[in-house]
Structure 1
Amino acid sequence: MNTTADPRTVTAAAPELRRWTPPAVEVRRGGVVGAELAGFDVLAVPVAAGEGADAPLQPRPGAADAAVRYGIDLAAACAAEGSTGRTAQVTRLPVTAPAGSPRRLLVVGVGDSSPTALRRSGAALARAVASAPGDVATTLADGVGAAGTRAFVEGFLLASYAPPVSGRRAASAPEPRRLLLLGAVEAADVRHAEVSAGATVLTRDLAATPSNLKDPQWMTAQVREVAAGLRLKVEVREEDRLRREGFGGLLAVGAGSASSPALVQVGWTPRARPDAPHVVLVGKGITYDTGGLGIKPREGMVAMKTDMAGSAAVLAVVAAAARLKLPVKVTGLLALAENAFGADSYRPGDVVTHYGGRTTEVNNTDAEGRVVLGDALAYADAVLRPDVLVDVATLTGAATLGLGKRHAALYSADADLVAQLEAAADASGERVWHMPLVEDYAASLDSDVADARQVTTTPGHGGGSIVAALFLRPFTGGRRWAHLDIAGTGRADGPEHEVVKGATGYGARLLLEWLETSVAPGTAPGAR
């Protein structure tokens, strides 16, 4: 990734960042016995718990052969070390490695060998070998099918991830390891997993970049760089054009910053499918959020470099759709601005005119995400005319209060679209919870001076995430639409399974899975 930003908007002390390089994944047909494993530091094999309380541990592909190779009684060794075969349990067995064999033998519990179990087991293996980096050979993907292979590789790659670093830490960053998959594994499934995991990695990298490097112009440069390698079409609306065309929401939010706002459009169109269904993805891209004149407390600003995670996910999904050559037209809209404060900042009480003419009475300058999304959604409806419209945004703290940090809030009145996204969430491991669009709450956005208030001013009203979704709905023009509030899932306080601390990259795999399984096969969402 290019880390050179516009010198007019970046401090002189801005660091150079070193970004993580993923492990190289190789496939080799054949089992453990007789395999040439010289140079590998770790051999990992799967085991599972037997059915019933007293049932013996069940070796999975490669485990029994590993026992032969190392000359051990596998059941006895596992019992002695407390290995039960439960999902994501990694146990090192004491062995003396014969010549040409890895010095460490690990057994990894895979539970029921479902994709979820394999994703978590892959993540656990990655963390188990992180303290002593080395090359890993494994049979965990042997014979588990396409979904299992993809899940395992995703888990391993994503849990191996490290955020961008600078200074002395960058100089001492470990070199990437190799991951060798032994057995009946299809290379195409591995490459697919690398693309889907790569989408999450790109999202994480962009969201984790410090905001003294990252502003709307920097994000625009990243879009151009990603698009150039894939021949994606890019169109950028900068401040002058935004003003001419009436994008008042973006202009209002970005007015207080030295960095001007932008609306970036990036698209993938399959050449072989001119009649392909058209999906538009809209991402909130607030590159830093101080709260504006309604300034946040210091603690509330610490994670705000990730307030553009929705736009990062949108870019990553469009790029991944191109890499996989999905037979669906995907357009991404990145609504980019920095919510700072200054002499030109928008104020509580202002009335903003959005693209298309809808007006908003501003009540809270820290509810800026919905203001920029309103412009982008209205443009998507009026100009791009998609079959289905999905926005993704770190939008409300209320979503986190209601659902915590493991489920994104999903809003849509379209039952089929909800079912598709829920299925994609189950398959990808990026969980959602369908929330109601409570019609009785819509009146709380009534305004005396504009088409709507930005937030409710009714004391103790609650339901802030629902109200935000209701605010966005009119901008969609009645099209099939879903809103993902990822304020909780976009950031993590600590690692869990394939999720890492900090920017999680949430949304990229979920949306990619949905495009591939629900839209691309021909189940076109249909026009309004």
Structure 2
Amino acid sequence: MARDLPEVVGALGDLPGCTFLTDDDVSAVVVAVAPAPEPGEGAQPRAGTVDASALYHVDLGEMAERHGLEGAAGDAAVVDLPRPHRGASESFPWADLPRRIVLLGVGDGSTADLRRAGAALARRTAGLERVVSVATAGAPADGVRAFAEGYLLAAYRPERWSGSPDSRPAPAEQLVLLDPASDAEPALVPARRAARATWLARDLTATPSSVKDPAWLADRARTLASAAGLDVRVLGPRELEGQGFGGILAVGGGSSRPPRLVVVSHEPDAAAGEAPRHVVVVGKGITFDTGGLSLKPRAAMAPMKTDMAGAAVALAAVLGAAEAGSPLRVTALLPLAENHLGASSYRPGDVLRLHGGTTVEVANTDAEGRLVLADALDHAVRELAPDVLVDVATLTGAAAVGLGRGHAALYATDEALARTVEAAAARTGEAVWRMPLVADYAEALASDVAALRNVPARPPGGGSITAALFLREFTGGLPWVHLDIAGPARSSGNRHEVVEGATGFGARLLLEVLDLLS
């Protein structure tokens, strides 16, 4: 699905019996510390710390205190032990052991804290060969999974398009999770799958728009889907026109690089009994957004290569579902267009006829995402017979203003489905906040010349809400979830498992939703 991940493996055993600690390629040993029960007592040793202290003949608790560690999740100190002076008559007790010890804060041991600890470890051990960790010894399976996910997510480095190699140190070549009592491998399988999906979404989203036009992204989707054995169809301009995709065609009409619609389908293995539930995921795929004739300000336009993050997440989700052998039918719809300026750009005041015949008055050409999503949602309802409909999009600046960069705005027409998404968010750490579909705001989308306006004539406020209400008109009354990821899809810096730039937010969340719906 994506580039090769760093290797994370599980191993049974404990530090005193760990025969490969004397191997030359083991660069570091990782032990856990946690906050003291009472203030002022300093960080407290956790899993493996006592064994490591006995092996090295060093008081690691005292060492953590000297480095100012309090044991909070993500606290870390790397201790390089000295070599004996040449000619010394006696060697140190750690002469045959790795000379680097990582003291790693694991907080309260919750999945959230272990995910942060794993992320901190990835950044503090970059450039090493093999790292042996006992920080998750005794942790439950979901804690081991969270730790591994955090490590793999923070180990991501974006591909460079300048032609020069990335000079930053690569993550450790192998992380070994050592536990004397349990096998970590079953927990690592979903962690790797979630990380692969996120890496793929990040890679696609971070690709420059000079490379990433609708045709390029459609070809990447075809290549990835075909390699996974999935059915894939790509509709070009002629097919889009013949089937009435007026929104996608209008938005992409101002660009010399025409639009596409990609359909990727995972069909589960045939089994006796009821037909599997069908989940359709629609992802907004604007490969670059100038705002069209309603031109964006310069600063707002700069990050718009990421305006197809929803399509990248939807593609990653269907590929991840196939990798997991999901019993659900899962279809990803990727409406792809470049919202550009040109002689054939659509205009404010135009009336578009979208898929299915609904007419829409264009009031703002920079509210293009809802137009391409509306086409795809209507196509899903009329042609694909879904049981559950999900869309994910960097849709509105209002969502980012209201919720910041840490939460996606969640809208839903089905309470059970909303609770499923919220449960998935709690498990993955990809946070959502339930927003209301305010009935009184719907009248603001009325038009004098069409069935709907794409933005209100007299905005009631709540721009993310009115955008969601617009999309709801095309969902056919089906159980539907809308995720506005305009805030968390992009990050201005590294923080825990989130990386600077394209974050891939939503890929892990949707994979967890699919697991919970199975």
* TM-score range for the pair, normalised by the shorter chain length: over 0.9
**Amino acid in structure 1 at the alignment position of 2:5:** P
Number of the residue aligned with 1:313 = 313
Whether contact under 8 Å (1:149, 1:185) holds in the other structure is no
Q: Which residue of 2 aligns with 1:179?
A: 175
Within 2, Cα distance between the matches of 1:77 and 1:129? 19
Deviations 1:42-64 (A, max 9, x none): 21111212322355643222111
For 1:179 and 1:134, the matched residues in 2 are separated by: 9
Q: Describe the superposition over 1:225-273 as per-residue Cα deviations: whole angstroms up to 9, x where unpaired.
A: 1112210110111110010010100000010111111110101111144
| 1:126 and 2:127 are equivalent in the alignment | no
* 1:304 counterpart = 2:287: no
In the alignment, the residues of structure 2 paired with residue 236 and residue 364 of structure 1 have an alpha-carbon distance, to the nearest angstrom, of 28
Residue in structure 2 matched with residue 103 of structure 1 by the alignment: 99
Taking the aligned partners of 1:52 and 1:172, their CA distance within structure 2 comes to: 43
Distance, in Å, in 1 between the alignment partners of 2:79 and 2:122 is 17
Report deviation, 1:174: 4.5
Deviates more, 1:461-470 or 1:24-33: 24-33
Q: How much does 1:515 deviate?
A: 0.9
Letter in 1 for 2:465: I
Choose from 193, 196, 200 the match for 2:194: 196
Could you say which residue in structure 1 is the equivalent of 2:413?
Answer: 413
Report the TM-score when normalising by structure 2: 0.93
- 2:47 is the alignment partner of 1:49: no
| Distance apart, 1:496 and its partner CA | 1.1
Task: Determine helix, strand or coil for the equivalent of 1:249.
Answer: helix
Q: Report the alpha carbon displacement of residue 413 of structure 1 after superposing the two structures with TM.
A: 2.7
User: Per-residue deviation at 1:291?
Assistant: 0.6
- The residue type equivalent to 1:231 in the other structure is G
TM normalised by structure 1 equals 0.92
- Please state if 1:164 is matched with 2:159: yes
- Helix, strand or coil: the match of 2:65? helix
Query: 1:29 is matched with which residue?
Result: 12
The answer to whether structure 1 residue 427 and structure 2 residue 413 are counterparts is no
Who is 1:5 aligned against? none
Which residue of 1 is the match for residue 441 of structure 2?
441
Equivalents in 1 of 2:238, 2:155: separation in Å?
43
Q: Distance in 2 between matches of 1:496 and 1:453?
A: 39
Q: What is the match of residue 82 of structure 1?
A: 68
Q: Is the 8 A contact 2:118 2:148 kept in 1?
A: yes
- 8 Å CA contact 2:78, 2:124 repeated in 1: no
> For the Cα contact (< 8 Å) 1:399–1:465, is it kept in 2?
yes
Distance 2:112 2:419 in 1: 19
1:264 alignment partner in structure 2: 262
Match in the other structure for 1:504: 503
Aligned to 2:349: 349
1:293 match? 293
Paired residue type of 2:411: Y
Taking only aligned residues, the RMSD between alpha carbons, in angstroms, comes to 1.7
Give how far 1:414 is off.
Answer: 1.6
One-letter amino acid of the counterpart of residue 269, structure 1: E
Q: Runs of 5+ in structure 1 lacking a partner?
A: 2-18, 521-528
Distance in structure 2 (CA, Å) of the matches to 1:102 and 1:94: 9
Give the corresponding residue for 2:91. Answer: none
**Residues 438-487 of structure 1: CA deviation (Å, up to 9, x unaligned):** 1111111100111100001216x321100000000010000000100000
Query: What is the deviation of 1:169?
Result: 3.4
The one-letter code of the counterpart of 1:205 is D
Percent identity for Structure 1 against Structure 2: 50
**Secondary structure at 1:41's aligned position in 2?**
strand
Alignment partners' CA distance in 1, 2:153 and 2:474: 35
- 2:144 pairs with one of 149, 158, 162: 149
